[in-house]
Every structure is written in structure tokens, then in C-alpha cells.
Amino acid sequence: MLPEREALAGVRSRMTLAAVALAATLVLIIGCIWFVSGRLAAPIMRLRTTVLEIAGGNLNTRVEGITSHDEIGELAESFNTMTTDLQTHVEHLAHERAGREKIERDLDPAREIQRGLLPRTEPNAPGFEIAGWNQAADKTGGDYFDWMELHDGRTVLTLADVTGHGIGPALIVAVCRAYMRASSSTGHVSLSAAMARVNDLLHEDIPEGRFVTAAVGVLDPARAQMQLISAGQAPLLFYEAGTDTVHNWDADDLPLGIMSGLTFDDVRTIDFASGDCLVLTTDGFFEWPNPENEQFGTKRMMAFVKENHHLPAHEFITRLYEAVLEHASGTDQTDDLTAVVIKKV
């Protein structure tokens, strides 16, 4: 039998060595964790700082000091590439915005010139109320209305719609208006001949695929009569007071500019009686859809004419526009709007 002191001496020695080894291991583990976490945390903090700078609007900042080829290094490299691309994209957008703003500024005079081509006063047509209105979908539009008084007391009235809207159709509008006025200004040329001349000139000038729908009439107030030709322009809505009926007339001929050599022999004669009302509109009115993609339509147009024919011509157009807006329920105007109302009082 050994004394207890000698028997336990080896055990205590081994326990001391185990404790020292455990402590050393823990210190080593903690050191490794501190080292590794430092290697990871520092780059991540740099990334975080850079993200905050970009969020503040500084697109020139870059992640610096990370040269490792591990995942953190690849992330830093990708982040710098992304920031460079973002800066390039923002600069490109700024240039585009500046370009659009310049175009908008350049279009302002064009809009003013086009608005200046519209009539500013009502024509002198005793016994008639005549009103016209235009609102382009863009800065400039492809619709227009016009009237020109002839020396014999008659008045030439025009409503026209060039395909599309914007600066291109606006130029064609100016050309069409000039041709129409030049062809009918003397009053000695028939309406059919004037329309044929305008058609041939437009066919030579405008690009393929473009054309002009137009309703052109010559109003004789003394006889309360109008000669009317519709070149692709429809519907033509006529309220007949004597029968309380709204007539929906189709176009008489092809649009202007499609082909040369058209004769426009189908001249419609309208004899106005008191209360009769002729309503000419471009398709922007009846084709304007609501959020369910349901257009205002010609049936609503006809119902509106029947219910509101008694209104003064200017107020009639205002109410019609309001009715279309109510139907649209917030959808955007995508086409030009033009209306002419001729009412026998």
C-alpha cells in the first residue's frame, strides 16, 4: 500500500498539465477567432461605409484596401464595377434628360406657331353659330380646323386629321392648310376641283404611309346651304331639328394623299333649317377608352348630340369634352382632339 500523497501526486500533475493545455487551446482559439473576424469585419465595414456614401449621392466613391482574392475581394471588385456602371448610367440619363428638355424647349415655338394657325375669331356667317376647338396630345399635333371667308359671303370650313401626332404630322398640317387655302381662296374653283388639287399636291409631298382625313365644306349663309366633302373623315353627325333625328354619315371618298388622280365627285348638299346642327370631330373623341378599354364610341356621340344640340356651339364642344373626360376616368389622352360645330339659329 502506497501513502495517499504518493498515489495522487501523478494525478495532480496530469490535471495541472491538462488545465494548462486547455487554457492554451482556448487562448489559441480566441486568437484565431479574433484574427479571422478582423480579416472579415474590416472589409465588410469598408463595404458598408461605401454603400452609405453612395446612398448619400456620392457615385465617385470606391471600395479601397481590399486586395484579397477570396469571396470578400470578389465582392469588393464587383461592387466597384457596379458603382462605375451606375455612374455611367446616371450620366447617360442626365444627358438624355437634357436632350429631352432641349427638344421640349425647341417644340414650344413650334406649338405656338401651330396654335397661331388656328382661327382666332368666328367667321361672319349670318344666321349661324360656328365654333372650333383643338387640343393636341403632344406639344404639337396632327389635327387642325380652319375657316376662310370668301369675297362672295361664303365660308370654307375645314376639319382635318393627319395620321399620327407630334412634329411630323404638325408639319403636314401646315402644308395641308396652305394648300387648302391656296386652292379655294378665289372662290371660282369648285369644291371637288379644290380637293382634287390638294390631294395631288399632298401625294407628291408627304411620305408613304401618311395620309390626311378631312371634311371640307363651303357654307352659303344666304341660302342656308352647305356643300360638303368628306375625304375619309367620319362620322359626320347631323342633327335634324324637324325630325329630332341624329344622322350618322360615313365618309364620301378616300383620305387625301393616298393616291393621285382622285376626283371627289361625291359632294353632299346640306340644307340647314333652324335648330339643325352639324358636328365634326376627329377620332380622338370617340376612340378615347376608359380603364376597361371601352371607347367612348359613336353611339355615345350621337346620344350626346341629341341631348345637347340646343347648347351654343362653344358650350356644346366644352360639354362634349367633359363627357369624354368623364368616360375616360383618368386614362391618358393619346390622340389629338379637334371639333367643329355648325349650328343654324
pLDDT of residue 44: 65
pLDDT of residue 166: 72
Q: Which structural domains are found in the chain, ordered by start? A: 4-88 (no CATH), 118-344 (3.60.40.10)
pLDDT of residue 187: 78
16 contacts: CB under 8 Å, gap ≥ 6: none
CB 142, CB 212: distance < 8 Å:
no
Q: Residue 247 corresponds to which cell in the numbers above?
A: 344622322
pLDDT of residue 15: 77
Going by the DSSP 8-state scheme, the letter that residue 208 receives in this structure is T
Backbone φ and ψ for 334, nearest 5 degrees, come out as: -110, -5
pLDDT of residue 27: 76
Rounded distance between C-alpha atoms, residue 181 and residue 184, angstroms: 5
pLDDT along the chain (345 residues), means of 10: 64 74 78 60 67 68 65 68 74 69 62 82 96 90 93 96 82 90 86 95 90 97 97 96 97 94 94 98 96 97 97 97 97 95 97
3 contacts: CB under 8 Å, gap ≥ 6: none
The sheet carrying 245-249 orders its strands as 128-135, 337-344, 277-281, 236-240, 245-249
pLDDT of residue 65: 63
Helix (H) or strand (E) holding 285: helix 283-286
117 contacts: CB under 8 Å, gap ≥ 6: 144, 146, 173, 174, 177
SS3 breakdown of the chain: % helix, strand, coil, rounded to 5?
50, 20, 30
Q: Residue 81 corresponds to which cell in the numbers above?
A: 464595377
pLDDT of residue 71: 62
